[in-house]
Structure 1
Amino acid sequence: MSSPPSSSAFSVICLLHAAIAIACGASMMFYMSDLYTLGHGVETAQKLLGSTPHDQLLIRTSDSFSGLLLFAIGFLLLMVSFVRDREFQSFFAKGCTLLHVFMGLWRCYFERRVEDLAWDWLRQTVGDVVLALSWVFFLVYSWREKYD
């Protein structure tokens, strides 16, 4: 029994998410201080970058590894975009939706309590919801294709 043909919407969504992850990961690795300044302002960026040389080194190292992880996730998404098995696509989309929902919940419950980031959590949560909705739209689209 062969699986039904795969959806090109899955490839498009994966490629868009991969481009976002690769660009954000590369930016985090090499331009994090500039991103802090752009996103939070000069005063908050100085607080987020640490006050002692040791703290600054730890924060830069942490940001670089986080960026590297996001960069790797982007390449994983790039590779997954070429998978043609519809059942896997549905499973993967459900997992990504769940991941984005949990990330949004994390921001709502924990990140908003950090004083320097308190005003920023809502914007980032909206971004998580939008990314989750892209996968939900794919699931609805594939469900419609399956039952039409």
Structure 2
Amino acid sequence: MVFYLNELSVFGHGPETAKMLQGSTPHDQLLIQISDSFAGLLLFAVGFLLFMVSFVKDRDFQSFFAKGCIILHIFMALWRIYFERRLEDLARDWPRQLVGDIVLSLSWLFFLVYSWREKYD
């Protein structure tokens, strides 16, 4: 993802917006690259955490983790509603990303409903 960042930006946002998102000064470009690196590190950490949690057999912990993921996706949706829609460069992308956050939180909610069904059957 880091090696083809420009191509991913062009694919996701279009060529004009991708050029604006790269930054206009070397300082801005460095800050954006550092931010992208931290985002990649966060994605790796979340994936590794999900991998570790998948081996836990405790249902209470699994439901606790699912509730935390639901809250995280709700906060991400609120962030997109209140802040990202105000950025004119990203204004056309936030509804699609908002739908993605809602779908991901619903997937965790369905996991909770399924685990409650198994627990009370």
TM-score range, shorter chain: over 0.9
Match of 2:36 among 56, 63, 73: 63
**Which residue is equivalent to 1:15?**
none
User: How far did residue 140 of structure 1 move?
Assistant: 0.5
Q: What number of residue pairs does the alignment pair up? A: 121
Report the CA distance between 1:31 and its aligned residue.
2.3
Matched-pair contact (CA < 8 Å) for 1:30–1:64:
no
Matches within 5 A, 1:11-90: 27=1, 29-90=2-63
* Counterpart residue number, 1:110: 83
TM-score by length of 2: 0.95
Q: Is the 8 A contact 1:83 1:89 kept in 2?
A: yes
1:121 aligns with 2:90: no
For each residue in 1:4-59, what CA deviation from the matched residue of structure 2 results, as whole angstroms up to 9, or x when unmatched?
A: xxxxxxxxxxxxxxxxxxxxxxx2x3322211111111111010000112211221
Q: Which runs of 5+ in 1 are unaligned?
A: 1-26
Q: CA RMSD in A?
A: 1.0
Q: Is there any run of 5+ residues in structure 2 with no aligned partner, and where?
A: none
Give the match for residue 138 of structure 1. 111
| Identity percentage of aligned residues | 74
- Could you list the runs of 4 or more consecutive aligned residues of structure 1 that deviate by over 6 angstroms after TM superposition? none
